[in-house]
Structure 1
C-alpha cells in the first residue's frame, strides 16, 4: 500500500473527542491563544505528509495541544468544591467544640453549594488541606501562584492575623482575594488567625476550633474585583499579606494602596453595591466605615431592605446588644443553633456572623463581619447578601431559638 499525501485541519483536531476541555477550547477559539496553538502546530504539519509521518506528527502535535489545554483549564482560579472541582459558590458552617451535652472535635463542618438541597456533613476536617476550603486555598499555596505573582493578584486580610500582633484601628473583617486577569474568588469568613501565609502552606489555627465559624466563597469575573475593592475601602481591613502586580495595580489602584497600608478616601460612611458570580448568581453588599456609628443590622440593613431580621453573631455576656424592636423593622437575636443531624449549640459558642429575614417570603440571607456588640458600632465591617432560596432555606432551618419582640 502506497503512502498518500494527507492534510489535517485545525477544526478536525479540536473536534477529537478526547481533546475536549470546555474552558480551554472556548479560550483558544475566542482569543489569541488559539492562533498561537495553530502556529505551533504548523511547525509539525508543514506541507504534505505521508501516512506514517502523519501518525508521528499528529501524536506530537496532540501532545502539545493537550498539555496546553489542560494548563489553561487548571489555571482557571475559582472556588473549589469538596472534590476539588470548580464551583460558583459554597458555604461552610464549622461546628463548635462545645455543643449542648456534648464536646466535639471542633473541626467538623457542614457544606453547601448549588448542587445540594441542604447542608451536608463533610467527610473532611477543616484542619485538613482536603475539602472545599483546602482545595480552594491550594490555588494560593501552589508554587504556580506564589512564584509567578505577575500572573495573579492576592490579598489576605484579618483583624486578627496569624502570627502577627493584634493592632487597633482596622475594620472587623476577615477574608481573601485571589484572581488573575480573567477570574478569581472572594472568600469571606469569620475565622481569626486564618488563612496562613502562602509560604507556610495550609494551616488551620487551633484557636479556630472552639467556636462555630462560617465562610462564603464566590467565584467572580475579573471586573467584579473593582466592586470588592471599593467595598473594602469602607471597611479598611488589616491586610497582612498581598501581591498586587503592576498589571493589576493600574486597574485596581485602591487595592494596591490598601495592601501598602494606606487608606484611600471613602466618599461617604457607608455603601451598598451589587456583585454577580461567574454563573450569574446575584449578590449584594453592605459596607460601613467606623464613621457610621450604629449597629449595621438594626440601623441600616433591616430598614433599607424593609425586613425583620433574625441575627446570629458571637454575643459575649455583658457586651451584646439586645433584640431591638424600636424601629419599623425589627432585629431579633438568635440564641441557639441546630444544624441537620447535629446536636444544638448556643450562640455564645458561635463566632459566625449572619442574618436572615424573619419572613419566609423574603428569602434574604447575609453573611458578614460584625457582631451585635456595642463596641462594633464603631468598627468598619460589611455583609454579603443574597435572595437565593437554597441558601435561605439552609440557614432558616438551623434557627432553634431566638429572642423575639
Structure 2
C-alpha cells in the first residue's frame, strides 16, 4: 500500500487507576497506559496478549498505522477523514459534544478512514477526543483515554471497499473533525469526496448492511444505523445476524435511558456486568462495566463478534451508529471468556425501582410516559353554565327600588347604588375638619 501502513487487528486498552480493578498479575500497572492486543498474525487467542508498548508510545500499532496522519506534512497521495461525536475542543476534561449538535440526530461514532489510489484503512474506536490533532509531527493520544477501558479495531481494505465504507458513514451522519482530500485521490471515491466536502445524502429510515472484504480476503459485515431508525439495534438487527442470544458491553448509565434485558423474543439480549481479561491460566484483570467505555456484542451460541459505536440505551435510538462484525470462533470465544457476568432476565435498574411492564420489542426503559398534572379545579364548562341564568335575575329586581329612592339623581349611572351618593355627601364634612387642622394659610383663605 502506497503511503499507508498495513495493520489489521484489535487493541484493548486497560483502564486507569481505580479501586474497582482486581488483578492477580503483579506486573500489571493501573495507570491506563497498558493494552492487550491481537492481529491477523496472532496464532493463539485462548488468552489476551499484553503489549510491551504503551498507549502513548510512538511505536505502538496505532502510531505505526497512523504515521501519515500525524506527519508534519500532508501527503498528496492520501485522503482521510477523522470523525468523533466528542471531538477535541480545546479542553480535554470533560469530553463534550460539539457546539450545535447536542440532542440532534447525528452519529454516535468514532473512527478514521484513510485511502490512497490503491487501498485504504478503516479504524473504528471508542475513545473521545481522538485524535486530538493531526500533522503535529508525532502520535498523540488524549489524556482522557487513560480513565476507562477503550477498544480499537483496524481493518485494511482494497480500494473497491473505500467508497462503500464512506457511504456507510454518510448514512449514519458522522461528525467529521479533520479532513483532507487531494483531487487526484477523491475523484475515485465519490462518497468519500462528499464526506470531505460536507455534502450529506438524503436521509433514510433503513439500516444498511454491507459485506466488507479485508486486504487478506477476510469477510466482515459493516452495519450503518441511520438516526431516523429509532430502535435498539442489538435487539432487532444483531440477534438476527447472529441467530443466537447475545451479550452486549456498552457505556450504560440511567441518564442515557436504561434498557432492561430482553428475554421475550426468539433470541435474548443481556448486558455485561463484569469483565475479566485472562492473560494465562492464573493471571487476570477484572473490573465492572462501569469502568469500560468500549462497546461490543458477542453471540452466545454462534461465532459472531461485533465491535460497535452504539451504547445500549434509549437515547441512542435517535442517533446514527456503526457496527463492524466478523464470524470467527477464535475471536468470539476470546470475548465470551472475557465476559465474567451478565444481567439476569429479571434485573432491575441501578435505583432498585420495580421493573415496568415489558413493551413488545424489548424496548422497556425506566422513563415513564408523560402525564398531565391533576388539579382540584372544576372544568371550565361547569363555570360557564353556572352564572348567566342567575346574574340577570338578581340585578333586574334591585334596580327599580334603587331608582325610586333617589329621584334627584336619575341622570347618574345606575351601576352604583345610592350608598355611593351618601358617601359623597359625607365627604365635605371630613374634608372641612381636615382643612381646619391646618394652621394659618387656611384661616387667611376663608377670611
Q: Is this a same-fold pair by TM over 0.5?
A: yes
Q: Give structure 1 stretches of 5+ with no counterpart.
A: 1-72, 80-86
Residues 234, 328 of structure 1: CA spacing in aligned structure 2 closer, same or farther, 3 A cutoff? same
Residue aligning to 2:71: 142
Residue aligning to 2:260: 322
Residue aligning to 1:32: none
Give the SS at the match of 2:277: coil
Give the SS at the match of 2:310: coil
Structure with larger Rg? 2
Match of 1:219 among 149, 153, 156: 156
Q: Is the 8 A contact 1:78 1:183 kept in 2?
A: no
Q: Is the 8 A contact 1:196 1:203 kept in 2?
A: yes
Q: Work out the CA distance in 1 between the residues paired with 2:21 and 2:183.
A: 52
Q: What's the CA shift for 1:289?
A: 0.8
Question: 1:351 and 2:281 equivalent?
Answer: no
Question: 1:393 and 2:333 equivalent?
Answer: yes
Q: Work out the CA distance in 2 between the residues paired with 1:131 and 1:193.
A: 19
Q: Aligned ranges for residues 194-209 of structure 1 at < 5 Å?
A: 194-200=130-136, 201-209=138-146
Match of 1:156 among 62, 82, 87: 82
Query: How many aligned positions are there?
Result: 319
Deviation digits for residues 196-228 of structure 1, max 9, x if unmatched? 322223211111111110010011111110110
Q: Work out the CA distance in 2 between the residues paired with 1:127 and 1:92.
A: 13
Q: What's the CA shift for 1:314?
A: 1.0
Q: Work out the CA distance in 2 between the residues paired with 1:134 and 1:315.
A: 30
Q: Work out the CA distance in 2 between the residues paired with 1:161 and 1:202.
A: 17
Q: Work out the CA distance in 2 between the residues paired with 1:372 and 1:96.
A: 21
Question: 1:290 and 2:221 equivalent?
Answer: no
Question: 1:270 and 2:270 equivalent?
Answer: no
Give the SS at the match of 1:395: helix
Residue aligning to 1:374: 314
Residue aligning to 2:124: 188
Q: Give structure 2 stretches of 5+ with no counterpart.
A: 24-28, 91-95, 346-447
RMSD after superposition? 1.9
Residue aligning to 2:9: 90
Which protein is richer in helix relative to its size? Answer: 1
Residue aligning to 1:171: 107
Q: Is the 8 A contact 1:226 1:252 kept in 2?
A: yes
Q: What's the CA shift for 1:327?
A: 2.0
Q: Is the 8 A contact 2:3 2:68 kept in 1?
A: no
Match of 1:332 among 267, 270, 279: 270
Query: TM-score, normalised to structure 2's length?
Result: 0.68
Query: TM-score, normalised to structure 1's length?
Result: 0.75
Q: What's the CA shift for 1:305?
A: 3.7
Q: Work out the CA distance in 1 between the residues paired with 2:278 and 2:311.
A: 24
Match of 2:181 among 231, 236, 244: 244
Q: What's the CA shift for 1:101?
A: 4.5
Q: What's the CA shift for 1:108?
A: 1.0
Q: Is the 8 A contact 1:160 1:166 kept in 2?
A: yes
